[in-house]
Amino acid sequence: MAWLLLLSLQETCMALTEQKLTPQPEHAGLRVLVVEDEEAARIATLRYLQNCGHDVEAAGTAAEALEKADDLRPDVLVCDWKLAGRRDGIDVARLLQKRYGVAVIFVTAYALNDLRRNISDLGSVDCLRKPISLHTLAAVVHSVTTSH
C-alpha cells in the first residue's frame, strides 16, 4: 500500500512539473539551491523552479549541498530541516549564509516553533510547513529576495 502511495506521489509530482510556466522577468534568474532528502519532492521542486526561470541545483544531503553551492553560489537556499546524515538543514544554512549571504527558506514537516528556536542566529529566513504547493514556494522564493 505504501509503495502504491509513493508511486502515486511521484507520478503526481512529475505531472505537475511537466506544466509549462511563464517566467516573470522581474524575479526570474535567481540561483537557487534545493536541499531535500526525499527524491520525488527534490525533483519536483527543481523542475518547477527551473520552469519559473531560475538557475537551480538540487542536493539530497548536506555534503552534496555544500559541494554544489561552491559552483552555484546561490542567492536562495530552499532546504529541508531534517536531513539524513550528520548535518541537518540548519548546518547547511549557517554555512551558506556565512559564505554567500543566501536567503533561506526552510521547508519541513516538523513543528515550526522547534525550528524557529534553533535558527534565531540566521538572517533572512522563512519557514514553511509541508505539504506546500510549488506555486506558493516559488512566490516565497521571490519574496525573500525582494525583502532584504
Domain ranges of the chain: 2-19+28-146
Model pLDDT for residues 76-102, shown as the tens digit of each residue: 999 998 998 889 999 999 999 999 999
CATH for the stretch 2-19+28-146: 3.40.50.2300
pLDDT above 90: residue 14: no
Which 3-state string (H, E, C) describes the chain?
CHHHHHHHHHHHHHHHHHCCCCCCCCCCCCEEEEECCCHHHHHHHHHHHHHCCCEEEEECCHHHHHHHHHHHCCCEEEEECCCCCCCCHHHHHHHHHHHHCCEEEEEECCCHHHHHHHCCCCCCEEEEECCCCHHHHHHHHHHHHHCC
More confident residue, 147 or 112: 112
